[in-house]
Chain A
Amino acid sequence: MNIASAAPHHANLKLTSRFDLSQRLVALLTRGEAVIGGIGNTNFDLWAAGRRPENFYMLGSMGLACPIALGVALAQPTRGVVALEGDGSLLMQLGSLTTIAMLAPKNLTIIVMDNGCYQITGAQKTTTAVAADIVAIAQGAGLKQARWAADEAMFESLIRRALAEDGPHLIAARIDDKPAVATTERDPSLIRDRFMRGIGTKS
């Protein structure tokens, strides 16, 4: 494994499990990092991976996980912030990658779970299933520290590095087409209030 070298095209990568990667991510978050979970399966598996008060779960506004995470990162520059997003969601707001590259927040990491489909609506293919490469798009947007994780071990290595070294970082992983293993509760004001207390904005 050489995480510094250019990754192969994503079509050749191992299909990992979203829930498994979510569990691996949560296990590596030891310093109160904030996580913004994108709508649908992405935040459902984040929820299933363990309750953390520093997690924020979206119930709509598809595509805004990265912008919300950017806002948290700007407000709290000493806290690590992670945007957890699916390929379909990210494709709705690709411009946000250019904004993040422009501002270059050191404490922001974007993780993209790419299953090449809108799993939750019936597994219709996304454009990444055919030609688009999320990491190449991110690098073109100006996010030079964008990498494919070829397998679970590389995913963990990339997360460790992203949490330890100045960002912004983007880590993408190919995942299978399984649905999430659980669903979040759907109480927006409760989710928001718990998150604000979890990251110290409210006491």
Chain B
Amino acid sequence: MAKGMENEPSRAPTAWHAIVREALKRNDVRLVTYVPDRVLTPLIDAIHKDDFFTAFVTTREEEALGIVTGAWMGGMRGAVLMQTSGFATLPNALASLAVPYQIPLLMFVSERGTLGEFNLGQALVCRTMRPVLDALGIENHTITRLDELDFIVDRSIKQAVATQAPCALILSPLLTGGKTFAH
């Protein structure tokens, strides 16, 4: 760095999806699997555009969990992106694979079903998410603030790896803007 550059304005990213992408890169999380979600689209796009990542769609969230589990055992860190209803398909695979086999599975869940939800099915399934995580003893955080995002993501990845345990990071509409009703 050239002398005097220390006082240059920070170029740290300011959009939520860019902050998540950078935290993944900083922690060498190279594999990103996902079942799409409207709110996650800018994050998915940003990851696809970055050659650092191996990123692809899967047909079910369970499948993504299995792929990330295998990759971890093979020496590659990975994350699964999903929405609330996708998380609701996971309890069996979490309880019989990720938790007992001590896999640092990183889950990013776009939270639907709250703060302006328009689909009753989403609202109901959302209420099952935290009780399931708590019943399985899975570390989870709901991220609502941009200024806390990098800290939570960065520290959660490090803790998941160090403690060999899954972790769920719930991205609140307060952070992402959520999905609004299409008139």
Contact = CB atoms under 8 A, between A and B. Distances in A.
The answer to whether A binds B is yes
A22 B171 CA distance: 45
A70 B71 CA distance: 8
A201 B58 CA distance: 25
B56 A102 contact: yes
A128 interface: no
Interface residues of B, number: 32
B15 interface: no
A189 B103 CA distance: 9
A195 interface: yes
Contact of A74 (B57, B71, B93): B71
Nearest to A93: B63
Contacts of B69: 64, 67-68, 71
B56 A68 contact: no
B29 interface: no
* Chain B contact residues: helix, strand, loop or mixed: helix
A72 to B, nearest CB: 4
Contacts of A195: 73
A52 B158 CA distance: 31
Contacts of B57: 99
B139 to A, nearest CB: 18
Nearest to A61: B97
Nearest to B164: A189
B36 to A, nearest CB: 14
A81 to B, nearest CB: 8
B92 interface: yes
A195 B60 CA distance: 25
Bin chain A's interface residue count.
Answer: 35 or more
Contacts of A196: 73
B92 A60 contact: yes
Quick one: which of A58, A59, A96, A195 has the most chain B CB within 10 A? A96
B92 A61 contact: yes
Given A99-B56, A188-B101, A201-B74, A70 B67 contact: yes
18 contacts: A56-B73, A59-B96, A59-B100, A64-B66, A67-B62, A67-B63, A67-B65, A67-B66, A71-B69, A72-B71, A74-B54, A74-B70, A79-B74, A96-B63, A188-B101, A189-B101, A192-B73, A201-B73
Interface of B: 31, 54, 56-60, 62-76, 78, 92-93, 95-97, 100-103
Given A67-B58, A96-B63, A189-B102, 16 more contacts: A60-B92, A61-B66, A61-B97, A64-B63, A64-B93, A66-B66, A71-B69, A71-B76, A74-B76, A75-B74, A93-B60, A95-B58, A95-B60, A99-B57, A188-B101, A192-B102
Interface of A: 34, 36, 56, 58-64, 66-76, 79, 93, 95-96, 98-99, 102-103, 188-189, 191-192, 195-196, 199-201
